[in-house]
Amino acid sequence: MSHLGRPSGNGFESAFSLTPAAARLAELLGRPVNLPSADCLDDASRAAVASIGSGEVILLENLRFHADEKKGDVDFAARLARYGDVYCQDAFGAAHRADASMVAVPQAMEGRPRTAGRLLEAELRYLSGAIDSPERPFVAVLGGAKISDKLATIRHLAGRVDTLVVGGAMAFTLLRAMGHDTGRSLVETSMIEEARAIIDAVDATATTLLLPVDFVCASAPAAGVETTVSGPDIESGLMGLDIGPASINAFSAAVRAARTVVWNGPMGLFEIPPFDQGTLAITNAMIEATAAGATSVVGGGDTAAAVNDLGLGAGFTHVSTGGGASLRMLEGGPMPGVDALDLA
Ligand code: ADP
Ligand code: MG
């Protein structure tokens, strides 16, 4: 059983059908995969499960066609729980949510084995293992659009990492809190006070905070615009759209020196060249560190996509498959879908 996308929860929608997944699964397994019905709980699905033979595979249709899945509904879960003898959870990307299939189903299966699949095992090994018992130096690189998304992560990593590197647009709110001019760069003005507090909180630990000292700036976030390098202050008409060359040097050196390095959030507006250079430089520095024996972990939807789009994912120890879930792990926050399992 699985999710796919975000259907409305009012029944079957062909755009979110697992039919293509069934076909691909059949290819990978080298045996037929039966998707018995458009509804995971109707008579056809129940009959298929009841008559399944040894070695046969049934894929239920998208659980999210039922609103009860998102609600974590206990009765819905109890009906799914009747289908199986063993619960094996491999949906890391949903494990930070308390959907029915993630929590209520394993709860309803108490007494039967409830275990992690290989992917979940790897995600936990790298995301919690690397953070809880890192080889040092331990460096975390954070970036992305909004500091409000990453405050809990900064709080959790402060005191745990040796160096906390912050790039991306989120750095501007920190720089503004420190009294710098940020021009027209993205700043979350409502978060400036909070940013000041978080800088003080990091300062109170042994963690070194490494912020950009220069930026690639332009008058607009568009391809082909004229760019200039300036910083840490940015003049009023310009916006910082990527970290600049001096920052790239400092950040890359920190990453290359790491024995454990965790990265979440691009360094700039990487979708639009030339503002992808900072993100590319961090990617290359992490790959170098990995080749030299470091453990490197990338988490975050956009960051993982950036690395994979470059075709460079294989150079890392682990590229997480979960955006929100990997961020939750970096925050040290609750993972209901993991807590529901009987892990040693
Ligand atoms: P992730 O999904 O990896 O956690 P986020 O969603 O937090 O990452 O942030 C990714 C977005 O941040 C990207 O769309 C990127 O273009 C944007 N971004 C990063 N730096 C800048 C910047 N300096 N100016 C504008 N956008 C930026
Ligand atoms: Mg994102």
Whether 116 has a pLDDT exceeding 80, the answer reads yes
300 Cβ below 6 A of ligand 1: yes
* pLDDT confidence of residue 329: 92
- Selection from 206, 126, 216 nearest residue 164 by Cα: 206
Whether 344 has a pLDDT exceeding 80, the answer reads no
* pLDDT confidence of residue 37: 97
* pLDDT confidence of residue 193: 96
Average pLDDT over residues 159-163: 96
* pLDDT confidence of residue 32: 97
* pLDDT confidence of residue 309: 87
Q: Which CATH number fits domain 14-119: 3.40.50.1260, 3.40.718.10, 3.40.50.720, 3.30.9.10?
A: 3.40.50.1260
Q: What spacing in Å lies between the alpha carbon of 343 and ligand 1's midpoint?
A: 35
* pLDDT confidence of residue 197: 97
Buried-exposed string 281-308: b where 16+ CB fall within 10 A, e elsewhere: bbbbbbbebbeeebbbbbbbbbbbbbbe
Give the confidence band of 10 by pLDDT, cuts at 50, 70, 90.
very high
As a whole number of angstroms, the distance between CA 111 and CA 228 comes to 63
Residues within 5 A (CB) of ion ligand 2: 301-302
**CATH level 3 topology of 122-330:** Rossmann fold (3.40.50)
302 Cβ below 6 A of ligand 1: yes
Give the confidence band of 183 by pLDDT, cuts at 50, 70, 90.
very high
168 Cβ below 6 A of ligand 1: yes
* pLDDT confidence of residue 174: 98
Whether 123 has a pLDDT exceeding 90, the answer reads yes
Q: What spacing in Å lies between the alpha carbon of 162 and ligand 1's midpoint?
A: 24
**What residue type is 219 in one-letter code?**
S
Q: What spacing in Å lies between the alpha carbon of 294 and ligand 1's midpoint?
A: 25
Minimum CA distance residue for ligand 1 atom 5: 144
* pLDDT confidence of residue 301: 86
The mean of the pLDDT values for the chain is 96
331 Cβ below 6 A of ligand 1: no
As a whole number of angstroms, the distance between CA 45 and CA 83 comes to 10
Average pLDDT over residues 1-9: 96
134 Cβ below 6 A of ligand 1: no
Q: What spacing in Å lies between the alpha carbon of 301 and ligand 2's midpoint?
A: 5
* pLDDT confidence of residue 130: 84
264 Cβ below 6 A of ligand 1: yes
Average pLDDT over residues 68-86: 97
In ligand 1, the atom with minimum distance to the C-alpha of 299 is 3
What pTM was estimated for this model as a whole? 0.92
Whether 1 has a pLDDT exceeding 80, the answer reads yes
CA 325 to chain centre: 6
In ligand 1, the atom with minimum distance to the C-alpha of 149 is 7
In ligand 1, the atom with minimum distance to the C-alpha of 327 is 4
pLDDT in tens, 289-343: 999 999 999 998 899 988 998 899 999 999 999 989 999 999 999 999 999 999 8
Minimum CA distance residue for ligand 1 atom 25: 269
- DSSP conformation letters of 143-186: -SS-GGGTHHHHHHHTTTSSEEEE-STHHHHHHHHTT--BTTS-
In ligand 1, the atom with minimum distance to the C-alpha of 271 is 16
Average pLDDT over residues 78-101: 97
pLDDT in tens, 12-64: 999 999 999 999 999 999 999 999 999 999 999 999 999 999 999 999 999 99
* pLDDT confidence of residue 262: 97
Among the bound ligands, name the one nearest to the CA of residue 166: 1
* pLDDT confidence of residue 129: 85
Ligand 1 pocket mutation, candidates 146, 269, 303, criterion most atoms within 8 A of CB = 269
CA 156 to chain centre: 16
Q: What spacing in Å lies between the alpha carbon of 281 and ligand 1's midpoint?
A: 16
Q: What spacing in Å lies between the alpha carbon of 265 and ligand 2's midpoint?
A: 8
CB atoms within 10 A of CB 104: 24
Q: Do domains 14-119 and 122-330 have the same CATH topology?
A: yes
As a whole number of angstroms, the distance between CA 206 and CA 162 comes to 7
Angle between helices 245-256 and 277-291 (to 10 degrees): 20
Domain boundaries, the chain: 14-119, 122-330
* pLDDT confidence of residue 7: 98
Average pLDDT over residues 245-255: 98
In ligand 1, the atom with minimum distance to the C-alpha of 170 is 20
* pLDDT confidence of residue 28: 97
* pLDDT confidence of residue 275: 97
